[in-house]
Structure 1
């Protein structure tokens, strides 16, 4: 029997979540879809493996179950665990599932039928989601669930991470293999973001099913919190330079404050010299007149101007939703085109 979909689930010390997660998997609608569940245990020291074994018979009524890994050892990383779970699986498509999240009953059915109707395999399919506990990270959730089709591509440099959140990803095995899988760095690496950028650099497309197909759990032990923001910043800076700034002759940075200056200092020397000015709406920042690059040999002075005088292209280093909508109103008044005249980096 050929397998249509492999659920890819790396686990590490997930005992407190697995019963709920497996309950959600047992509720999946799988009519005419052959599915396997590939679990890779990345050195768990709690009751993770025992709980998997307690569920084995029930899970095998619905799925082909594959369990690999090891216990009581140092973790080799989320990327490693995902890659091994993929390696031991055989499905045509891969459905990524975190051990602490809950699938809605129609998740696999909806994403599978999108995938099989695509003209090629170079597509990453996600979905909308709900946070549990309810109300967690409201601003992030509203952002991710309400991006337009165009913004899935234009807002990829924001600190939020991939515009399709990783726990909802569904893709073809053939495309995953061509991209080489996830980075395998043990701790503190944003393997989902680097894979996402690699997907786009290689011409991959994005598609979001505009239905809630996942309950995405927020808790203090999530692996997200093991990734330092400086690591994510470095990956984002590298990507926006590669895709956007390297191709520009000049640019304006919107934000003469801390984030704008940090962005400028993070650029390579060639791209620093493309910055013609900073712009802002704060009179105090504008009144200073210049930002001095103290690290440059010539102590370069870069003008600080009012945002209404800004000349595109503009890299915007202002956080969204934090200024009583003042920033958004100001940006809208300039009639600029996102992805052409400006890009968000905040």
Structure 2
């Protein structure tokens, strides 16, 4: 995109919710300041942190710091909408960062089509061991149906929204995860959106992040899809909805099974209930190969014995 003069360029607000991630916050802020695009305003929403989030945010000239009592990520993003003034909005988690030039790469698409509610791009996943993986999805049409099938966007910071979207929609504060997926579906149900394959941001994978709670993630993903059930009009949408339920079930159950086998996840009641409810073959495979481990390590031995007996009957 050809560089515009600051006086002519639309203001972009980058909203950074932060809850006890002060040690990552500087990297997120610097990635915005190094975009090479102006004007940009940065709004840090401190969601009741007990670390030095305020000190880090206020060390940067021009960064707007907003404090709220801990209310969760959805509420923090909604607060950021209210306290920002840009015509376009980016939501950047404090432990992630934007790639150079990403604001302009997204903005060019919105400026070329005033009907688009948001545009999304690809991203990188960055793991704790330093491994980096490109996440690229090719979606050129039928964005609502494709979102029903899976969250092809993946990283929230890869999305640039028009402000008017939030005159009609806000993040659902009852959701403790998948709140971004829920918003994409609600917006794309009503308005055109666009997706491209340029990398916009880097998504840091933390083992202690909310996405590591797989039973909750699956339950919430299915809940978000169920919110769309009454809005499905065509047979294609209904088929996409069914495909999405199957995708999320398989996706999270496969992850959980791998974590159990590798002993990265404890075989808790919630974990085994999830496997036996949605992917019983994976559940039976795990208990049949890990009987002694379950009996020795399980916090509820009677519950584990139930699965052993269930597996014996199946065989």
Query: Could you tell me the TM-score, scaled by structure 1's length?
Result: 0.60
**2:202 aligned to 203, 206, 215, which one?**
215
Query: Do the aligned residues in 1 keep the contact of 2:122 with 2:153 (CA within 8 Å)?
Result: no
- 1:21 equivalent to 2:28? Answer yes
CA contact (8 A) 1:125 1:171 kept: yes
Q: Is residue 95–residue 169 contact of structure 1 (8 Å, CA) maintained in 2?
A: yes
The runs of 5 or more residues in structure 1 that have no matched partner are 264-316, 318-346
Alignment correspondent of 2:120 = 126
1:34 equivalent to 2:24? Answer no
Higher strand content, 1 or 2: 1
Q: Distance in 2 between matches of 1:188 and 1:103?
A: 24
> What secondary structure, in the 3-state scheme, does the structure 2 residue paired with 1:40 have?
strand
Pairing partner for 2:110 from 97, 109, 115: 115
> Which string of whole-angstrom CA distances, capped at 9 and with x for unpartnered residues, describes residues 188-223 of structure 1?
342112211110222x22212321121111112334
- Which residue matches 1:4? 11
SS in 2 for 1:127: strand
CA contact (8 A) 1:28 1:108 kept: yes
CA contact (8 A) 1:39 1:68 kept: yes
C-alpha distance in 1, partners of 2:239/2:29?
Answer: 53
Contact 1:5–1:35 (Cα < 8 Å) also in 2: yes
The aligned residue for residue 341 of structure 1 is none
In structure 2, the partner of 1:206 is 193
Where does residue 291 of structure 1 map in the other structure?
Answer: none
1:236-251 to structure 2, matched below 5 A, reads 236-240=225-229, 242-243=231-232
1:224 is the counterpart of 2:211 = yes
Contact in 1 for aligned 2:138/2:196 (Cα 8 Å): no
Matches within 5 A, 1:66-145: 66-70=64-68, 73=69, 75-120=70-115, 122-133=116-127, 135=131, 142=135, 145=136
Alpha-carbon contact 2:28-2:95 (below 8 Å) kept: yes
SS at match of 1:213: strand
**Pair 1:196 & 2:187 matched:** no
**Higher radius of gyration, 1 or 2:** 1
Q: Which residue of 1 aligns with 2:224?
A: 235
Counterpart for residue 140 of structure 2: 149
Aligned length: 237
Of 156, 171, 188, 1:166 maps to 156
Task: Give the direction of change, closer, same or farther, for the CA distance of 1:244–1:222 in structure 2 (3 Å limit).
Answer: farther
Structure 1's 241 and 163: CA in aligned 2 closer, same or farther, altered over 3 A?
farther
Q: TM-score, normalised by structure 2?
A: 0.65
Indicate conservation of the 8 Å contact 1:155/1:163, yes or no: no
| Contact 2:16 2:42 (8 Å CA) reproduced | yes
User: Displacement, 1:240?
Assistant: 4.7
Q: 1:250 to 1:67 in 2, by over 3 A?
A: closer
Unaligned runs of at least 5 residues, structure 2: 1-6, 251-278, 280-315
Residue 183 to residue 162, structure 1, CA distance change in 2 (3 Å): farther
More helix by share: 2
In structure 1, the residue matched to 2:268 is none
Q: Distance in 2 between matches of 1:230 and 1:13?
A: 26
2:160 aligned with 1:175: no
